[in-house]
Amino acid sequence: MSDSRVDVLVWGPMHASLTQNLARDFNVHNLWELDALDSWLDEHGAKVRGVVTSGVYGTRIDVLERLPNLQVVSSFGVGYDALDIDYLAERKIPVSNTPDVLNNAVAETALALMLSVSRKIPQADRFVRDGAWLKGKFPLGNDLAGKTCGIVGLGKIGKTIATRAAAFDMKIAYYRRGEAYADVAYRHYGDLRALARDADHLVIIVPGGADTEHLIDRDVLKALGPKGLLINVARGSVVDEQALIAALQAGEIAGAGLDVFEDEPRVPAELIAMDNVVLTPHLGSGTYETRQAMADLVFANLAGFFKDGTLVTQV
């Protein structure tokens, strides 16, 4: 008996409940399990009508080209810089992502890194475990209160970070090329280096992609200065990682809290060796609650599209 369900190609392992929902309602093909991808695409590519991927897996044009009847791409994650958006737009294939549902989790990650770096929490934990407390005192940290949180990218997540940083009595400022947002009272900077000069914590939360690649370069880091901290919860591509390493090694900035890297999951040995840097494995949206909401939204987009042609959250 032939399967009348829509054929969907899934790019990589997904959240368990999404995997279950997909298996129930679609004819699922797991790309990463196909050992002869080329001949599989020859034989089955034409029946694939949906793709499920993530902001981390992205897409590949050479595979998309072999899916002539593709109608929709549903992606897990708010960022879609790893997807071939222009190519998909040319083919008029709509794409959905998972905005909003992860604002709190990513903002909490930013605050966690800000606190971790300024109060040296990972080092303090090691200090207690290693028995060093029995022999001496742990070094002092810095307050968040009274400091300036400079936000690069005041979108929805940026605004969520701002309200939380404000609750810690930080001053809030943001960078936006050109004009200030009319409906935002925080101090605006049209010049990124000027914001870096005035910021104690420079928090990066702009989308990745060609427009923002290496936006944070050595000059911006020098402007941030020897007491400044860089926090990146956006994309590794936004920060010139070699310039960051050089700035940290030269003491041009005080430290960094990094959740994202240029070549994940590979993290440069120089960063791993530094004690003034807190490193996390791209866990920004990684809570049970948020990942469930993201999984539900990926499914709602796909199911909605094949039911009545609508996407809940189209890019």
Interaction site with ligand 8YV (CB under 6 A): 54-56, 76-79, 102, 282, 284-285
Calculate the CA 244 to chain-centre distance: 18
Is residue 62 classed exposed, middle or buried when 0-12, 13-18 and 19+ CB atoms within 10 A define those classes? exposed
Which entry of 49, 201, 235, 291 is annotated as an active-site residue? Answer: 235
Nearer to ligand 8YV, 62 or 100 (CB): 100
Shortest spacing between CB 238 and ligand 8YV, in angstroms: 12
Residue 101 vs 195, nearer CB to ligand 8YV: 101
Active site residue 264: yes
Number of H-type helices and E-type strands within the chain: 12, 12
Q: Is 214 noted as a catalytic residue in this protein?
A: no
Give the three-class secondary structure for 158. Answer: helix
Looking at 49, 66, 176, 282, which residue is catalytic? 282
**Minimum CB–partner distance for residue 212 and ligand 8YV (Å):** 13
- The runs of H, that is alpha helices, within the chain are 16-25, 37-44, 61-64, 85-90, 103-119, 121-129, 156-167, 192-198, 218-224, 241-249, 269-272, 288-308
Verify whether residue 282 is a known catalytic residue.
Answer: yes
Cα–Cα distance, 294 to 78 (Å, whole number): 9
CB of 195 or CB of 234, closer to ligand 8YV? 234
Minimal CB distance to ligand 8YV: which residue? 77
Choose the catalytic residue: 5, 126, 177, 264.
264
- In terms of CB distance, is 72 or 105 closer to ligand 8YV? 105
Task: For residues 51 and 67, give the distance between their C-alpha atoms in angstroms, rounded to a whole number.
Answer: 10
Return the active site residues: 235, 264, 282
